[in-house]
Chain A
Amino acid sequence: MPRALIHVPATAKKGETVEIKTLIAHVMETGYRIGVTGAPIPRDIIEDFVCTYNGEEVFRAKLYPAIAANPYITFFTTATASGTLAFSWTDQHGATQVQTAEIKVE
């Protein structure tokens, strides 16, 4: 299971714009590199990133081989209600990692 670092403010005022930061450990191997043995290193990348806020999709990104290793994605959303932000990263093999964070809206 790859590691991910997520930063979501613990509390926010209703209607406030909040910054979300995510960082996931992933090699993001392009498939264009040659290894020490001379054989190409197979492509291995994360292709999709989705964030849902209490079940509603608030952010989505498509990732391509030009994205550096350990993709760092930050974005903004509006704090509407207390609840859960769920982050999911899906790689090219279809494996998905989901991580969640709680936010309290006053």
Chain B
Amino acid sequence: MRRTGAIFAALVAAAPVAARAADIPFDQRRSDSEFVSADTRAMQNDDTANPGMLAVLDGETLWNTKAGDSNKSCADCHGDAKVGMKGVATRYPAFAAEFGRPIDLEEQINLSRSTDQKAAPFAFESKDLLALTAYVAYQSRGMPIALQETAKLKPFIEDGRAIFERRQGQLNLSCAQCHDDNWGKTLAGNLIPQAMPTGYPIYRLEWQEVGSLQRRLRNCLSGMRAAPYNFGALSLVELELYLMWRARGLPIEAPAVRP
């Protein structure tokens, strides 16, 4: 009995150490592009081979297309996206005072669409929303992620971290167990990346189309056999926010190509 008690005490003492995932040291953070094959990387880095560029071109057309009751295009207010949208994607998700919570780039585009253009917002994962997001994100290519841990964002970043480190689903896994503790090792023959969201929206070869970070996160959640959060759910935005903050300083690569 005394022996069982001693083992139990030892387990309790060891548990907090074992459960706490260690953060990736700041200088060891790498883009997920370094965990894909050389062919996929070459496809990403060649604008005539990167299929994500087709979405960027569609987005450019939409940027200049008048829409909604106000009959204005994005360009009518924001001007040339190459100037006005430069660096914008490095700061999202950002705190939106209207909602009292952070919103991601897709939600910001839809917010501007409904309040300024007075048009119906695009559906999540619709071709048009992804195209506009890809076009805006593309303007920040090569610029470092500049997300700041402001007082307003801090609680949401902490919530995002808590979700990232929480075990969930039938496999009882947390995001951190793969992406903080075991990155660089293989899972079913594929290298586990660090989950640095530098290239969203991405062209994923498996999808054969462009998709958002929320879609990718939902993908991971169903892989863990956890119930995925709905598109637009605060938990997904908090995860996006935590991941972008965790990747601060790494350059934006949108639209990235992933296997």
Chain A interface (Cβ < 8 Å from any Cβ of B): 3, 5-7, 21, 23, 25, 28, 68-70, 72, 74
Contact across chains for B51 and A70 when beta carbons are under 8 A apart? yes
A3 B54 Cβ-Cβ under 8 A? yes
Contact (Cβ within 8 A) A5 B58: no
Given contacts A68-B208, A69-B209, A70-B208, contact A23 B57 (CB under 8 A): no
Q: Which residues of B contact A68 (CB under 8 A)?
A: 205, 208
B137 at the interface (CB under 8 A from A): no
Q: Which residues of A contact B48 (CB under 8 A)?
A: 5-7, 21, 23
Please tell me if the beta carbons of A21 and B54 are within 8 angstroms of each other in the complex.
no
Nearest residue, chain A, Cβ from B43: A72
Number of interface residues of B (CB under 8 A): 12
Which residues of the other chain, B, contact A3 by a CB distance below 8 angstroms? Answer: 54, 57-58
Contact between B51 and A72 (Cβ–Cβ < 8 Å)? yes
User: Is the Cβ of B208 less than 8 Å from the Cβ of A23?
Assistant: no
A72 to B50 CA separation, bound complex (whole angstroms)? 9
B46 CB contacts on chain A under 8 angstroms: 21
Contact A5 B208 (CB under 8 A): no
Counting CB contacts under 8 A, is B53 at the interface?
Answer: yes
- B contacts with A: majority SS: loop
Interface string of B84-115 (1 = CB under 8 A from A): 00000000000000000000000000000000
B57 neighbours in A (Cβ, 8 Å): 3, 5
* Chain B: minimal CB distance from A21 (Å): 5
Cα distance, A76 to B59, chains bound together (Å): 31
CB-defined A-B contacts under 8 Å, sample of 17: A3-B57, A3-B58, A5-B47, A5-B53, A6-B48, A21-B49, A23-B49, A23-B51, A23-B53, A25-B51, A25-B58, A28-B208, A68-B208, A69-B208, A69-B209, A72-B49, A74-B49
Known: A3-B58, A70-B51. 19 other contacts (CB 8 A): A3-B54, A5-B53, A5-B54, A5-B57, A6-B48, A21-B46, A21-B49, A23-B49, A23-B51, A23-B53, A23-B54, A25-B51, A25-B54, A28-B208, A68-B205, A70-B54, A70-B208, A72-B49, A74-B49
User: How far, in angstroms, from A45 to B160 measured CA to CA in the complex?
Assistant: 42
In the bound complex, residues from chain B placing their C-beta under 8 Å from that of A74 are 49
Q: Which residues of A contact B51 (CB under 8 A)?
A: 23, 25, 69-70, 72
Collect the chain B residues with CB atoms within 8 Å of residue A25's CB: 51, 54, 58
What separation, in Å, do the CA atoms of A7 and B57 have in the docked complex? 15
Q: Which residues of B in the span 1-58 have a Cβ within 8 Å of any Cβ on A?
A: 46-49, 51, 53-54, 57-58
In the bound assembly, the distance between CA atoms of A23 and B49 in angstroms comes to 7
**Cα(A5)–Cα(B53), bound, Å:** 8
Q: Give A7 to B48 CA distance when docked, in angstroms.
A: 6
Measured between alpha carbons, how far is A5 from B48 in the docked complex, in Å? 6
A69 to chain B: which residues have CB within 8 Å? 51, 208-209
B226 to chain A: closest CB distance in Å?
22
Nearest residue in B to A21 (C-beta to C-beta)?
B48
Which residue on chain A has the smallest CB distance to residue B51?
A70
